[in-house]
């Protein structure tokens, strides 16, 4: 049976920069490309330290978790993102002390080469967001919808209000699976999986087809969710399905990126 991998901050370890990257930045490995179809590195940048991404053989997407960077002639504060497509490169420079980037990618080059050839930049203020995804106060935003003509990555964000400790019945609410492998990263608050609470900075790697559910901790929770391609259906135990792309399309417009200059 597929196994969910939960990696808390203290379980990461210092690693080499991801393949196709160079510079003075330091890296910590969350999700190992040798053990899961997706990979995740946390990149730490001090003031004026740099990370060069590419040229890459597959698209990578970066998310500015803490601090800010300068990339492609634009300032990208926390909550921003960027995409480096196949065949392209981007230099990212720390714009202050304590910048943390999350760098996501598929673990292996695709069988069919991506079109690539572009860099897309999305400052936090330009991210399409909806503060009322549900009537329970869930918020969401779209960084990459895997429908770009030249890149396939997907990254969305969600934020949930705080929740009290759950009853056994609550643990069965919202059980679902996705058709694709995914990585969830907790950018703030806590996530509850079963009876356990996990802090911000936790990464969760979930194989496609694996049933799971979660609730927010008492102070709420926000996360980003990565896939390496276009999502298909969300499946529920009773046999119901929901097309995830259609759901998000009905809630938010597509991102409008800035190009590197």
- Whether 5 is in a domain gets the answer no
Say if residues 240 and 71 touch (Cβ distance below 8 Å). no
Instruction: Tell which of 71, 101, 126 closes a domain.
Output: 126
Report phi then psi at 93, rounded to 5: -120, 130
Which 3 state secondary structure label does DSSP give 11? helix
Q: Residue 218 has which token pair? A: 């008492």
Same domain as 62, residue 146: no
Same domain as 142, residue 59: no
Q: What is the DSSP string of 79-148?
A: T-EEEE-BT--EEEEE-STTEEEEEEEESS--SSPP----EEEE-GGGS-EETTSSTT--EEEEEEES--
- Whether 196 is in a domain gets the answer yes
Residue recorded with tokens 């981007």: 90
pLDDT bin (cut points 50, 70, 90) of residue 1 is very low
- Whether 2 is in a domain gets the answer no
Same domain as 135, residue 97: no
Same domain as 139, residue 120: no
pLDDT at 111 over 70: no
Average pLDDT value for residue range 106-128: 89
Neighbouring residues of 242: CB distance < 8 A, sequence distance ≥ 6: 233, 234, 236
CA gap 158, 225 in Å, rounded: 8
What is the pLDDT of the chain when averaged over all its residues?
A: 92
Smallest CA-to-CA distance from 96 within 130, 121, 70, 61 is with 70
Same domain as 113, residue 97: yes
Same domain as 119, residue 155: no
- Whether 173 is in a domain gets the answer yes
Average pLDDT value for residue range 166-189: 87
pLDDT top residue among 162 and 167: 162
Instruction: Tell which of 126, 152, 175 closes a domain.
Output: 126
Same domain as 246, residue 151: yes
Same domain as 243, residue 135: yes
Instruction: Tell which of 92, 126, 160 closes a domain.
Output: 126
Residue recorded with tokens 């490169």: 89
Residue-wise pLDDT for 7-40, tens only, equals 999 999 999 999 899 999 999 999 999 999 999 9
Same domain as 154, residue 245: yes
Same domain as 17, residue 41: yes
- Whether 233 is in a domain gets the answer yes
At 174, which CATH number? 2.60.120.10
- Whether 184 is in a domain gets the answer yes
pLDDT at 6 over 60: yes
Distance of CA 184 to the CA centre of its chain: 6
- Whether 259 is in a domain gets the answer no
Enclosing domain of residue 61: 12-126
Same domain as 229, residue 138: yes
Q: Residue 57 has which token pair? A: 């053989």
Residue-wise pLDDT for 70-90, tens only, equals 999 999 999 999 999 999 999
Q: Residue 47 has which token pair? A: 């003031």
Q: Are strands 119-122 and 81-84 parallel, antiparallel or unpaired?
A: antiparallel
| Count of domains observed in the chain | 2
pLDDT at 2: 58
- Whether 93 is in a domain gets the answer yes
Give the percent of the chain with pLDDT over 70: 97
Same domain as 240, residue 135: yes
């Amino acid at each position: 049976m597929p196994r969910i991998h939960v990696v808390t901050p203290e379980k990461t370890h210092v690693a080499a920069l991801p393949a196709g990257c160079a510079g003075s930045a330091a890296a910590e490995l969350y999700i190992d490309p040798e053990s899961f179809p997706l990979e995740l590195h946390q990149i730490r940048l001090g003031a004026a330290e740099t990370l060069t991404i590419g040229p890459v053989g597959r698209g990578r997407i970066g998310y500015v978790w803490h601090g800010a960077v300068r990339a492609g002639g634009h300032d990208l504060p926390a909550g921003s993102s960027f995409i480096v497509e196949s065949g392209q490169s981007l230099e990212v420079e720390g714009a202050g002390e304590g910048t943390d980037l999350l760098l996501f990618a598929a673990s292996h080059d695709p069988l069919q080469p991506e079109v690539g050839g572009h860099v897309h930049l999305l400052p936090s203020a330009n991210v399409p967001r909806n503060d009322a995804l549900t009537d329970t106060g869930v918020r969401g935003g779209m960084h990459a919808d895997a429908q770009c003509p030249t890149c396939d990555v997907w990254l969305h964000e969600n934020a949930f209000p705080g929740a009290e400790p759950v009853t056994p019945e609550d643990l069965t609410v919202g059980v679902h699976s996705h058709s694709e492998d995914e990585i969830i990263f907790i950018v703030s608050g806590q996530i509850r999986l079963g009876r356990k609470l996990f802090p911000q900075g936790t990464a969760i790697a979930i194989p496609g087809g694996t049933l799971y559910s979660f609730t927010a901790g008492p102070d709420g929770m926000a996360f980003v969710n990565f896939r390496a391609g276009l999502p298909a259906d969300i499946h529920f135990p009773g046999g119901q399905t929901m097309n995830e792309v259609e759901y998000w399309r009905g809630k938010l417009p597509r991102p409008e990126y800035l190009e590197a200059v």
